[in-house]
Amino acid sequence: MDDACASNEVMETLAARAEEAERLGVAPGAGQSPTRPRRLLICLDGVPFEVIRALKSRGMFDNFREPARLLSPFPTLTNVALAQMLGATPPQGYESLYFDRDSRELRGGVSKYIGRRTPDKAPSSYMEELDYQEPLPFEFLIYVATDAVWQADMRRFRERFLSSPPTRDFFGFLKATDGLLHIAGPERLSVAMRSLDRILRRLQGECGSETEIVVFSDHGMNLVENRRVHLQSHLRSAGYDVLGSMRARMRGSRQVAAPAFGLCGYVALYCGEEVDRARLARDLTGLEGVDFSVHRDDDGETVVVTGVRGRALVAREQRGASAAYRYEQVDGDPLGLAAVSQDLREEGVMDGRGFAPDEAWLSRTWDAERPDALANVFESVTSPRVRHTADVLVSLQDGYYYGAPAFSRMVRLLATHGNALRPSSQAFLMSTHRSFPDYTRACEARPLLRG
């Protein structure tokens, strides 16, 4: 769990829930509660807040309360986000193909999607809480048989729910929505969502109005056609050796690993011993499509943000159970926070050393171009969002992606996610029974989902 969310109150709530589950003889993640009605929990992969709000304005999901924004962590990816939202173990890497810092080589990849799901193919313990998710091979088939896959996915979900014990919660993860947006765009997604709306209405009629339905997404999505950034050729032209393994240390070689898998709007870079992270970050500013990169400073207490709009330092100071952040502009304004910083200073919220409370930054940036930028970007390289954290994380501009060249040749990418910008960072959360706060960080979501 990120430090920005690890308040005593949240930790005590999680501990109390675990003790109660143990007393009842129920697994902590089973979602069963003696104090409330049954809950149907559905995660829709990759559906942005703005899309669900637009669908609701057209009459869909009108039995739900207004959707709230669920702020997804950077990089805005399924395994990273759901591990945060459910308080689960961090995944090994950002995607199925990742760089293992212990073995100093790439691990995983397409083999993770072949055959059946086994413990070694579960990226995080959040999967232990799922009562339904699509069969493993369908995660790829969505890109070649889009309509057939989402229709089958929703049919299987409904059948699984109706056959489940009526005395316990049910948690379904519908991943086909992500593929629909990537390949077919929002109009095709709206057809699928209308079908889901009808299914949920029937289910509530069959189960009774006391059954609460909670629908949320893990991350958002930009809804623009995207093109590939030429990252590896750019790095090689700048004098770096882009490798899949750094087990052999070659003197004088500036080794960099850049796992390329899904077609997403971020890059994770792992550096060899002779690579200066600050120089690498500066070299990346010349690559078309880069918004900013972030890495830890040599002191380990500060992170450096370097982008096309300048360079800044972000520092955090712990104040009991809460935190304060400082945004120090070295050259320019890479995160677009100069005006917010000035307002905090003029209002007397910021102290003489430039620190302002985390909540003050959040309350002014949850709907910014880069939502919750200070805590989100700082923690992306200082907290264990994944087990093998990158040395340099890159957020690309909307309209650009990085990933496996083979996948790039297979699809025309009409939307993607991964960066720290608002379309990808704002997921949604809505319920038939409850109204939620306007915005909630991913790491604060579990009490709302499972409590």
pLDDT at 200: 96
Contact 270, 256 (CB under 8 A): yes
Q: What are 277's strand-pairing partners?
A: none
Higher per-residue confidence, 222 vs 118: 222
Does residue 16 surpass a pLDDT of 50? no
The amino acid that residue 106 corresponds to is L
Confidence of residue 14 (pLDDT cuts 50, 70, 90): very low
- Per-residue CA distances from 282 to 3, 313, 409 (Å): 28, 14, 30
Strand, coil or helix: 174: strand
For residues 421 and 444, what is the distance between their CA atoms, to the nearest angstrom? 20
Joined together, the tokens standing for residue 261 give: 């898998």
Angle between helices 176-184 and 146-162 (to 10 degrees): 160
Higher per-residue confidence, 11 vs 126: 126
Written as one string, the DSSP assignment of 279-321 is HHHHHHTTSTTEEEEEEE-TTSSEEEEEETTEEEEEEEEEETT
pLDDT at 300: 76
Angle between helices 146-162 and 186-207 (to 10 degrees): 10
Joined together, the tokens standing for residue 400 give: 């650009």
pLDDT at 295: 98
Contact 263, 413 (CB under 8 A): yes
Confidence of residue 23 (pLDDT cuts 50, 70, 90): very low
pLDDT at 406: 84
Contact 105, 246 (CB under 8 A): yes
Confidence of residue 15 (pLDDT cuts 50, 70, 90): very low
Greatest mean pLDDT among 18-32, 110-124, 293-307, 404-418: 293-307
Contact 196, 180 (CB under 8 A): no
Does residue 221 surpass a pLDDT of 90? yes
The amino acid that residue 241 corresponds to is D
pLDDT at 13: 37
* Residues of the chain above pLDDT 90, percent: 75
Q: What are 307's strand-pairing partners?
A: 292, 310
Confidence of residue 117 (pLDDT cuts 50, 70, 90): low
At 177-186, the pLDDT tens digits run: 999 999 999 9
Average pLDDT over residues 340-354: 97
Tell me whether strands 392-396 and 290-296 are parallel, antiparallel or unpaired.
Answer: antiparallel
Average pLDDT over residues 209-222: 96
Average pLDDT over residues 397-407: 94
In what helix (H) or strand (E) does residue 377 lie, and over which residues does it extend?
A: helix 373-382
Residues 310-317: contacts with CB within 8 Å, 24+ apart?
310/334, 314/374, 314/377, 314/378, 315/355, 316/3, 316/375, 316/378, 316/382, 317/355
Q: Which of 80, 59, 29, 40 is nearest to 262 (CA)?
A: 80
At 271-294, the pLDDT tens digits run: 999 999 999 999 999 999 999 999
Contact 425, 370 (CB under 8 A): yes
For residues 52 and 216, what is the distance between their CA atoms, to the nearest angstrom? 10
The greatest distance separating any two alpha carbons of the chain, rounded to the nearest whole angstrom, comes to 69
Average pLDDT over residues 370-390: 97
At residue 424, what are phi and psi to the nearest 5 degrees?
Answer: -85, -25
Average pLDDT over residues 146-172: 92
Q: What are 302's strand-pairing partners?
A: 315
Q: What is the average pLDDT score of the chain?
A: 89
Q: Domains in the chain and their CATH numbers?
A: 3-89+124-223+418-450 (3.40.720.10), 227-410 (no CATH)
Q: pTM of the predicted model, to two decimals?
A: 0.90
At 41-89, the pLDDT tens digits run: 999 999 999 999 999 999 999 999 999 999 999 999 999 999 999 999 9
pLDDT at 114: 56
* Cα of 12 vs its chain's centroid, Å: 25
Lowest mean pLDDT among 91-100, 116-125, 224-233, 381-390: 116-125
Does residue 120 surpass a pLDDT of 70? no
At residue 235, what are phi and psi to the nearest 5 degrees?
Answer: -65, -40
For residues 344 and 357, what is the distance between their CA atoms, to the nearest angstrom? 10
Q: What are 281's strand-pairing partners?
A: none
